[in-house]
Structure 1
Amino acid sequence: MDMKLSDYAKKAGISYRTAWRWWKQGNLTGHQLPSGTIIITSEAIEDNLKPDLIACIYARVDSAQNKDNLDRQAERLKDYAIARGYKIYKIVKEIGSGLNDNRKQLAKILVDPNYNILIVEHKDRLARFGTNYLEILLKELDKEIEIVKQSEEEQDELMDDLIAIITSFCSRIYGLRRSKRKTEKIIAELKYNGQECD
């Protein structure tokens, strides 16, 4: 039975905006009435109710020194996606802190309409904080985040993030000139206390 695009969207469990995008991209078969109403044909409905799982892979490391790890991370994610039977739309590699909220590559893929699964190796690869907000945003866009490994032990990277936080707060409290000295002092004390605990 043919149905309106809005009814198709409800049946497929997607937003009308996504159904409209699929229609515009030619992924749905049907016709448009003179009134503007889009009718999806019955033959196409069953085929299209389960869209292809199209993956965007996002790999990230903190610094250029870890570029080899970035390449290996991307390869592992690619193998994972292939094993799951996903179509790979794009592999995005980025160098930048997980605390940086101005990562250009991540910003681009968050609004990219051409995939429906965002694959990351660890939650921290996406962001150190606020990943729940990203999940909510992507869910609204009919996308999901797939995290391959749920936990991560990366002490060096956590230390880099801690230094970034301390530097940021010191520059706000003490001004740019004194912040470097204050940051170095705090980090030295943290390292000293950490060694005492060992």
Structure 2
Amino acid sequence: MRTDIYNWMPISVSEVCAIFSEMPVKWCIAGGWALDLHVGQQSRPHADVDVILLRGEQLTAYQHLTPEWKLYKAEDGKLSDWEEGEFLATTQDIWVSKDSNSPWAFQIMFIDTEQDYWIYRREKAIRRPLQDCIATTTEGIPYLKPEIQLLYKGGSSGIRDKDQTDFLTVLPTLRPPAREWLKVSLKRQFPEGHAWVEYIDKHEDPKRG
């Protein structure tokens, strides 16, 4: 078990792409880097690189990543070895390093699907065709669509300063359907209200009028 949770030296997005483009799995960049890929430039520093994989394809990814990389399950604030052949039914995050003493290089996050639909784990009524969840840069880098990434950020237990910054940076770049989808999804998860919904309502795109 490792406890050096702050020992990060993330590899670059291009290096991540070189690793995963060789795998027969569906994947994409997530987190703050996904939003920057959408915007087209880096908007702030990033402490790590997040990669999304389908839960059902985890063992294929495991076989392609090992033994070059060492994989750890991140659960309940603890990091433990992901053993060969172990199917992770509920684990959400995997931290990856070169060996047991190396800094963390990137993070894998599993998403759940059902009949080619992505399912939002915090509110399972929110789902979307998997093919409509991933966008691609002109360089061919796949990334999680910004409205979905913002839902993950806004739907967490506490909105961090960087999440608020990302929201304010990215919202003006969203097309009306994406902006509406984010608002409706936040309303479904938070029927009692959400600050981002109020902000969107106050800053509706005048072109929609």
The alignment's TM-score, normalised by the length of structure 2, stands at 0.23
Higher helix share: 1
The structure number with the bigger radius of gyration is 1
